[in-house]
Amino acid sequence: MDKPQPDQVEISIFGPGYGECILIHCGNDEWIIIDSCLNERTKEVSALEYLNNIQVSYDAVKLLVVTHWHDDHIRGLSQIIENCPKAEIVISEAFCKEEFLELAALYQGHDDLGVSEFSKLWAYLYENSKYPKRAIGIRSLLQKESELNHLKYKVESLSPSDAAIMLSNCGVANLLPKRPTVKELPFLKRRIKSLTPNFAAVVLLVTINDIQILLGSDLENSQDENIGWLAILKSGINCEAQIFKIPHHGSETGENPLIWRDLLIKDPLSVTTPFVRGKIKLPTPDDIERIKSNSGEAYLTAAPITKKAKTDHFIDKMLKEDVKYRAIVNPHFGHVRLRRKNNCESSWEVQLSADAIKL
Amino acid sequence: MNSLAYKYETTPSTILNKEDLVTEDLEVLENSVELSEARIKSFFKTPSVETELDENLNSNTIAPLQNFQKDLLRLVPKTSYRQKTSTSSQKWKGHVIEKYDSYFTAIITDISNKNPDEIVELPTETISQDDLHLVVEGALFDWHIGYEKTSGTTQKYSKILFRRMPRWTRSDFDRANLVKNKFKEFLSKQSE
């Protein structure tokens, strides 16, 4: 694999390790990382592995955006933080609220309970006196202009909305164990659940010269116009993105026809990552049809199909006796890479690696 | 193990009252050749034993109890324990995602990191009665599959052991409060 030219924009989408990861080369060797996942085959942090493969220094990472808090979505995040000291860290405004701080503090050191990456993130920020940038709809997070290659780029957060932050705080407060009292038996320590539906995810709009990229994270849709995609659509943001990272693995819960009409150009190039956990497979065949009908070209980092788990013959035989169903979680992993010159009208060069497919 | 001896050996506090000993227990005690009748009698005659021993432990009350325990230990039948060795071929750690009436789903991670994570559906009947109450969303368990060798006989085994997770304590919350306040103070400086 080769490194992009200084005047080339690159968008790399990796997944599904656990969660997904997006890398953007804005130009002039300046990179942005959004979330983190592991390459299940190599067990490496996919963003760092890729940068290493194309011989890009980790110091070239200028921004790291964390859109989720649960370990399953940001595996390897702490390694990115440690290896990319020059990157500014962006977290959701929701993460700075009392409930999330308590979550990070309470679960610190409990590596098995599902929030260790988030706890490590807070510990790192505090110990290194590194103030995070807080994403909220709508806020400018980074803006740069350079004469070299006439590069101009901007990163804006389009979510979460104020109402979504309040909602997610309530959700986290409900997930937190209660302080033991004389009357009540204390809660048992156990793995914390994810918060669903996800209305607090950070949606990003990245503008590089005349190119707009809309990164939908896992933001879901709601009937309430104050939260989810409707809040973004009602905000009056001026957006005509050519590239769309489809939210929530292309599922119906992240779909709103107005996104395609109001925030994207006609027939955009869209990419998403699958979610395969046993019998749940996203995107569904219906989702795929809908995505294809709305996109000029659409890609998936891997097909949403299960794979039978296989171990030693003796183990397999033993498991057959006890186990009703067995499959690999996130069996496939792929990489969709899009490149284009940043200063002239040219078409996108698409490269698919590993299990990535065109829809 | 003799059930009476086991009962007394593990929970000596249960013999504080004479009434705790059922008739058959007394029979076992009285028929025991190793336990002197006089000692049993002296033990039950000790007034302090019948009163609030927990609150007033002293050498007078503990001594007969300790001697009594020693005697009871002798009641434990000598068992020739057969040597048992087990070899785990596969070890997973797992956590429960969803729990239904007759089964639960879990994600298991190979400890050796050789195999990818798996999602499994396990019938609750595979879990021992003692562990059933522990099968809840988010519960952690260890799963070992391997061979067990007992006196030359090799048998396969599959053991799922749910972790007895500790409960959140006040000190956990006190510690977390300190950390949270540090984070809050840190963030407030940013706002300034």
CATH code for the domain of A92: 3.60.15
Q: Give B190's contacts in chain A (Cβ within 8 Å).
A: 131
Domain residues for the domain of A319 are 8-177+192-358
For residue B114, what pLDDT band results from cuts at 50, 70 and 90? Answer: confident
Does residue A316 or residue B34 have the better pLDDT? A316
DSSP-based helix, strand, coil % in chain A, nearest 5: 30, 30, 40
Whether the Cβ atoms of residue B117 and residue A329 lie closer than 8 Å to each other? yes
**In this prediction, what percent of chain A has a pLDDT beyond 90?**
69
User: How sure is the predictor about B15, in pLDDT bands with cuts at 50, 70 and 90?
Assistant: very low
Mean pLDDT of all residues in A115-121:
89
Q: What is the pLDDT of residue A42?
A: 85
Instruction: Give B19-33 pLDDT, tens digit per residue.
Output: 444 444 444 444 444
Beta-carbon contacts of B23 under 8 Å, excluding residues fewer than 6 positions away, are none
- DSSP string across A250-272: G-GGG--HHIIIIIEEEEEEEEE
Question: Do A326 and B170 count as a contact with CB atoms less than 8 A apart?
Answer: no
* Res. B47 pLDDT band, cuts 50 70 90: very low
Average pLDDT, chain B: 70
More confident residue, A288 or B116: A288
Which residue pairs, CB below 8 angstroms and at least 24 apart, start in A349-352?
A350/A269, A350/A297, A350/A299, A352/A299
Evaluate whether residue A257 is within a structural domain: yes
Determine the residue type at B102.
S
- Write the secondary structure of A287-310 as one string of H (helix), E (strand) and C (coil): HHHHHHHHCCEEEECCCCCCCCCC
**Tokens, residue B59:** 């050498």
Go through the domains of chain B in sequence order and give each one's CATH number: 3-75 (no CATH), 84-162 (2.40.50)
Contact criterion met (CB below 8 Å) for B94 and B122: no
Specify the pLDDT at position A70.
83
Mean pLDDT calculated for residue range A140-151: 92
In one letter, which amino acid is A91?
A: I
Element (H, E) at A45: strand A44-45
Contact A324 B167 (CB under 8 A): no
Residue type, A100: F
Q: Which residue has the tokens 């609030």?
A: B52
Give me the mean pLDDT over the B145-164 stretch: 84
Question: Strand pairing partners for A338?
Answer: A11, A350
pLDDT per residue as tens digits for the range A53-75: 999 999 999 999 999 888 778 88
pLDDT for B151 beyond 80: no
User: pLDDT per residue over A152-185, tens digit each?
Assistant: 999 999 999 999 999 999 999 999 988 888 888 8
pLDDT surpassing 50 at residue A219: yes
* CA distances to A261, B170, B172 from A182, in Å: 57, 11, 16
Q: Judged by CB atoms within 8 Å, which residues 78-137 of A form the interface with B?
A: 96, 98, 101-102, 104-106, 108, 112-114, 122, 125-126, 129, 131
End-to-end CA distance of chain B: 70
What is the pLDDT, as a whole number, of residue A9?
Answer: 96
Residue A183 inside a domain? The answer is: no
Chain A: residue whose CA lies nearest to B91: A315
Percent of chain A with pLDDT over 70: 100
Q: In which residue are the tokens 């002039």 written?
A: A28
Q: How many CB atoms lie within 10 A of CB A3?
A: 15
Contact criterion met (CB < 8 Å) for B176 and A105 = yes
Neighbours of B113 (CB within 10 A): 8
Residues whose CB is less than 8 angstroms from the CB of residue B153 and which lie 6 or more positions away in sequence, other chains included: none
Q: Count of domains in chain A? A: 1
Q: Residue A112: its chain B contacts at CB < 8 A?
A: 93, 95, 140
Could B145 and A319 be called an inter-chain contact, meaning their C-beta atoms sit closer than 8 Å?
yes
Sort out which chain A residues have CB atoms less than 8 A from B117's CB and list them.
Answer: 328-330
Cβ pair A186:B167 closer than 8 A: yes
Of A180, A191, A278, the CB nearest to B169: A180
Q: Residue B7 pLDDT more than 50?
A: no
Of all residues in chain B, what percent carry a pLDDT higher than 70? 56
The strand pair at A204-208 and B118-123 is best described as: unpaired
* Count of CB atoms situated within 10 Å of the CB of A198: 24
pLDDT at B49 over 70: no
Q: What does the angle CA B112 – CA A113 – CA A173 come to, to the nearest 5 degrees?
A: 165
Query: Per-residue pLDDT for A349 more than 80?
Result: yes
Q: What is the pLDDT of residue B3?
A: 37
Mean pLDDT score, A131-159:
94
| Cα four-point dihedral sign B15, B16, B22, B24 | positive
For residue A232, give the nearest of A318, A131, A181, A162 by alpha carbon: A162
Nearest beta carbon to residue A187 from set B121, B167, B178? B167
- The C-alpha atoms of residue A255 and residue B123 are separated, in whole angstroms, by 36
- Tell if the CB–CB gap between A318 and B156 is shorter than 8 Å: yes
User: B2: distance to nearest CA of chain A, Å?
Assistant: 34
What was the pLDDT predicted at B149? 80
Tell me what pLDDT residue A43 has: 84
Length of chain B (residues): 192
8 Å CB contact between B99 and B122: no
A133-135 vs A151-157, strand pairing mode: unpaired
Residue A312, both tokens: 């030693």
User: Looking at beta carbons, which residues of chain A come within 8 Å of B123?
Assistant: 322, 324
Q: Quick check: is A232 in a domain?
A: yes
Most B CBs within 10 A among A324, A330, A333, A355, hence the mutation to make, goes to A324
Which of A353, A338, A354 lies closest to A12 in space, CA to CA? A338
Any domain includes A1: no
Q: How far apart are CA A62 and CA A28, in angstroms?
A: 12
Q: Which pLDDT value is given to residue B76?
A: 54
Mean pLDDT of B3-17: 37
Q: In this structure, what are the phi and psi dihedrals at residue A283, rounded to the nearest 5 degrees?
A: -75, 150
Is the pLDDT confidence value at B60 over 70?
no
Across the interface, whether the CB atoms of B120 and A323 are under 8 A apart is answered yes
- The shortest CB-CB distance from B113 to any of A43, A126, A324 is to A43
| CB-CB under 8 Å, B103 with A101 | no
Chain A CB contacts of B187 under 8 Å are: 96, 101, 131
Q: Is residue A47 part of a domain?
A: yes
Q: Where are the alpha helices (DSSP H) in B32-169?
A: 37-45, 47-50, 59-75
> Distance between CA atoms of B187 and B192, rounded to whole angstroms?
9
Q: What is the mean pLDDT of residues B157-176?
A: 89
Pairing state between β A211-215 and A241-245: parallel
Please tell me the predicted confidence (pLDDT) of residue A1. 78
Residue A47 in this model has a pLDDT that exceeds 90: yes
Least confident residue range of A18-27, A86-95, A129-138, B2-11:
B2-11
Assess A308–B contact: CB distance below 8 Å, yes or no: no
Nearest Cα neighbor of A82 from A98, A64, A55, A70 is A64
Give alpha helix (H) positions in chain B: 3-10, 23-31, 37-45, 47-50, 59-75, 170-191
Give A349 or B130, the one with higher predicted confidence. Answer: A349
Q: Encoding tokens for residue B138?
A: 């988010």
| CA B41 vs CA A116, A261, B17, B68: distances in Å | 60, 93, 13, 11
- Give the mean model confidence (pLDDT) for residues A198-219: 94
A185 touches chain B (CB under 8 A): yes
pLDDT of residue B82: 62
Q: What is the pLDDT of residues A224-264, one digit of tens each?
A: 999 999 999 999 888 999 999 999 999 999 999 999 999 99
Residue A3 lies in a domain: no
